[in-house]
A and B are shown apart, each in its own frame.
Chain A
C-alpha cells in the first residue's frame, strides 16, 4: 500500500521530569504504543498506535502520562469534519467496512436529558427513604387479567416470573465478545444483588452455571450453546431478534477469538467464524416467532418466562404488539445508543431510534390495545444513571438493562476499540495476558457498589415524589415533564411540558 494519509488521532504526552523509565506503560499497552528504546535507554511512544484508553495513564506510578487529542487541525469546515475526512482515508486505503465498538457517539438528542422528574411540595408529602420502607422489588413476566383469590390465597398459579430486588439487569454480553472475568464479575454481582445477568448468544460457560438462578440465557439465530440443559439452567430465556447498536445486523465473532474455551462454551468448532445472522431463518412472521417462543416453553415445561429482545426501530410499537401477542412474557427494547462489541460504524450511528421514544410508543400502544399486562417491558440502550432509570420506569418500563454502564464500572474507558480484541482493561478481549488484568472479585464489588448507590438514589427520587413503591411510578407519566421538546416529541413521549 502506498503512504497512509492518516495522522494519529491522539498524542501521548510524557512528562520527562516525572517519567522514571520503569516501563509499566510498555507492558500495559496492548497496542504497543510505548516501547523501551535500547539505544537511548528510555521509554518512547508512538502516538499513532494509541487509542486513548487511559490504561497507561492510570497505571503509571509517577503519573507522568497524559493523552490528548491531536491538536493538528484540518482547515475549519462544518461539513467535512476531521472524522468524515479520516473515514474516507481509511476506506480508500483498505476498501473495507468501517468497524467500531460501544454505542452511538453522534450528537443526537438524548431524551433522558430533556425529561424532568417531579417532587412533592406541601400536599402529598414526600417520604424519607431512610426511615420509611421503600419497595424497588420488581417481577418480570406475564401478569394475569385478574387474580382469583380464595381464602386469602391465590387460587390459580401465576405465569412464571423472575424476581429482581432492583429493577436493573445486566444486558446480554456473550463470553467471546467479553472476557470470562468480565462475565464472572457480572454473574457474581447479579447473584449478590438479587438481579439477572444475561449470557448473550455465547453459550453458558461452565464456571458461570452455578449462577443459573440469576441468568437469562439467550437464544439467537446461530443457537450457540443452546441445548436442553442450557435452557433449563437459566431463570429465563431471551430470544434475540435484534440489538440496538446494530439493528438488522447479526452477531459475528471472528475465528481468531474462538479459542478452546469459547469453542467449548458455544459448542462450535475451534477457530471458525461464529456467525449468527440477523434473520432467524425460521422466523418470517409473528406466527413463526410464536412457534419459537412456544418451542422454548415446551422444552422447559412452561417454567421459564420467555423474553424477546428487539432493536428500537421505526415501527417499534406495532412490532412489540405482535411480540406480546406471540406469547412473549417479556419484551426488551434496545435503543440506538446501546453498546456492542463490534458493529459497522454506519449502522451503529445511523440505524434505529432512541429508546425513550420507542419505549413510550410501545407502552402506549400496549395499553391502548389492553394487552400491557401480558408482557413486562425492559428498556435498554444507554441507561447511564438512576435518574435515567426512574424516567424509563415512568415512561412505562418494568426494568432496565445496563451494559455500557456496567463495563464502565469494571474499568472500561470507552475507547470504542472493543472489536480489536485488545482491550487493555481486560474486558473486551480473549487474550489471557489482558484478561488477567480484570479481577472478577474486585470488578463484582464495583458493580455491587454502583447498583447499591443507584438503588439508594432511586429510593430518594421516589421518596421525593411521595411514592413508596416503584410499582406506583410505572407508566406514571404525570411524574415527567419535557424541556426543550416540540409538541410532537411531547406527544410521543406522552408527557407535558415543564410548567404545564
Chain B
C-alpha cells in the first residue's frame, strides 16, 4: 500500500502521481488530505484499490473500469460518471448525477444522494450496474434509465421526510428502482409505474442490501424488515408513436 498526501498539491499533479503509482504496479493507494481534488481515479482500470480520506471533488472515479474506490467522507457531483465496472463506496452523502450513464459496477452511498442519481444508467450483456443509496435521493432519480438497478433505502428519514424528490424515473425505459418505503404517485415521472417486487426482485434486493450493510457495518436483517416497492418503465420504446413516417 502506498500513501499519498494530497494536501497542497493540485488535482492534476495528484492524479498524475496516482497514475504513475498504478503504472508501477501499486495495487492499493491511500490518499490523505483530499480537499476538492477532482477526477481522482478517472479512467483507471484493473484490480486496484484507492482509499480516499477527505472530500474528493467532482467526477471522482469517472469512467472507472474495475478498481474499488472507497471514500471516507462525502463525495461531490458526478461520482462514478460513466463507470464501466468496479465498486465505489462512499461513507457519506453524494452530490448530483452520481453514476451518470454507468453500465456496470456498484456504488454504495451510505447517506443521501443529490439530483439525477443514476441518470442514463444502462445495462448490456452481462453487465448490470447497481446503486444503493442509504438515505434519500433528490429530484429525477433514475432519469432516462435504460437498465440497471437502483435501491433506495430511506434509512434515518425524519418524520414527514420523503424518500425521493419529484420526477422520479422520468424518461425511464428500462431497469428497476426499488424503494424501501412508499412514494406518492405525483412524485413519479411520466412512463413509470409502481409494482410489487416478486421473489426474483427480493433476491436482488437482499443481495445488495447485504453488501451495503457489510460495507457500513450495519445489520442487514433490520434493513430488510422494511417494505419494498418496485418502480419500472411502462415501455422500452417511449417514443414509438411520436413520429409520422
Contact = CB atoms under 8 A, between A and B. Distances in A.
Contacts of B146: 268-269, 272, 274-275
Given A267-B103, A268-B147, A96 B59 contact: no
A254 B39 contact: no
B84 to A, nearest CB: 4
B78 A291 contact: yes
A295 interface: yes
Given A99-B245, A299-B43, A255 B123 contact: no
B212 to A, nearest CB: 25
Interface residues of A, number: 42
| Main SS at interface, chain B | loop
A476 interface: no
B42 A299 contact: yes
Contacts of B68: none
B43 A231 contact: yes
A165 to B, nearest CB: 30
A123 B44 CA distance: 59
Contacts of B5: none
A282 B174 contact: no
A420 B245 contact: yes
B125 A96 contact: no
Nearest to B39: A298
Interface in A7-64: none
Nearest to A273: B237
Contacts of B78: 282, 291, 295
Contact of B63 (A227, A267, A273): A227
A273 B123 contact: no
A175 interface: no
Nearest to B124: A267
Interface string B2-29: 0000000000100100010000000000
Contacts of B74: none
Interface stretch (B114-122, B158-166, B196-204, B218-226): B114-122
Nearest to A229: B65
Contacts of B228: none
A231 B96 CA distance: 24
Interface stretch (A141-149, A218-226, A386-394, A436-444): A218-226
B173 A94 contact: no
A228 B43 contact: yes
Contact of A226 (B82, B244, B245): B82
A222 B82 contact: no
Contacts of A268: 122, 124, 146-147
A96 B173 contact: no
A392 to B, nearest CB: 33
Contacts of B152: none
Interface of B: 12, 15, 19, 38-39, 42-45, 58-59, 62-63, 65, 77-78, 81-82, 84, 96-97, 100-101, 103, 116, 119-120, 122-125, 127, 140, 143-144, 146-147, 171, 173-174, 236-245
Given A228-B84, A281-B116, A299-B62, 15 more contacts: A96-B243, A222-B101, A223-B101, A227-B63, A227-B84, A254-B237, A267-B125, A269-B174, A272-B237, A273-B239, A281-B100, A282-B116, A294-B39, A299-B63, A419-B245
